[in-house]
Structure 1
Amino acid sequence: MTDTQRYCFALDLNDDAELIAGYKAWHAPGAVPAAVTRSIRDADIRELEIWQVHDRMFMIMEVGPDFSPDAKAAADLADADVQAWERLMWQFQKPLPKAREGEKWVALERIYALSAQ
């Protein structure tokens, strides 16, 4: 039994090679502001990966038992550094076609697991 849970999300980038390169540069090792990385770790997010294909992004989070999506969202809203990061990232990102108003990363639904077969 594991003490972690996985969350997966999708988001699109603006389909522009220069912007995509800029987004990737901002996510290179050491490029993300320390305050943003700290906010992720403080939320009991144990691992966070972003994967890319063309202009589509997938984020995979492994979280511990103290993680709360609602608490993370509230903490992010109250953190000026995280809000500055989110504003910066929006110049590269665009919502998925069926995302709700204001929704950024859209949660994926797991439909298959080899372990369940």
Structure 2
Amino acid sequence: MSATTRRCFAVDLHDDPAQIARYRAWHAAGSPPPAITAAIRADDVRELEIWLVGDRMFMILEQGDQYDPAAKAARDAANPDVQAWDALMRTFQKSLPFAPEQTWVEMARIFALSEQP
């Protein structure tokens, strides 16, 4: 198997318990439309997890070496199912204070236990 790269992202949800519950329901096992999970897997995404605390979300994306962000963006832009899903999800999300008009901001890794003596 080829190498895997892990990337992490953050975004906030609107601080509304009912909206957060709906967002969680959309992400329960079997709830995302099959076209969405197929589009993710088709781009050599090996694993994708979303974690939630309060109204802050954290996404861990593990990609293979065939993952091409520009090609994925182009395919997603041309995929009406992905566009509809993205539009729906954006109704729940709000930009981080330092990144207006952007969702899922990539984070920088600042520590790895494996790199410590």
Fold similarity call, TM over 0.5: yes
Aligned to 1:80: 80
Letter of the 2:53 counterpart: V
Q: 1:100 Cα shift?
A: 4.5
1:1-117 matches, cutoff 5 A: 3-101=3-101, 103-117=102-116
Aligned residues: 115
Letter of the 2:114 counterpart: S
Show structure 1 runs of 4+ deviating over 3 A.
none
Q: Which runs of 5+ in 2 are unaligned?
A: none
Q: Which runs of 5+ in 1 are unaligned?
A: none
TM-score (norm 2): 0.95
CA RMSD after TM alignment: 1.0
TM-score (norm 1): 0.95
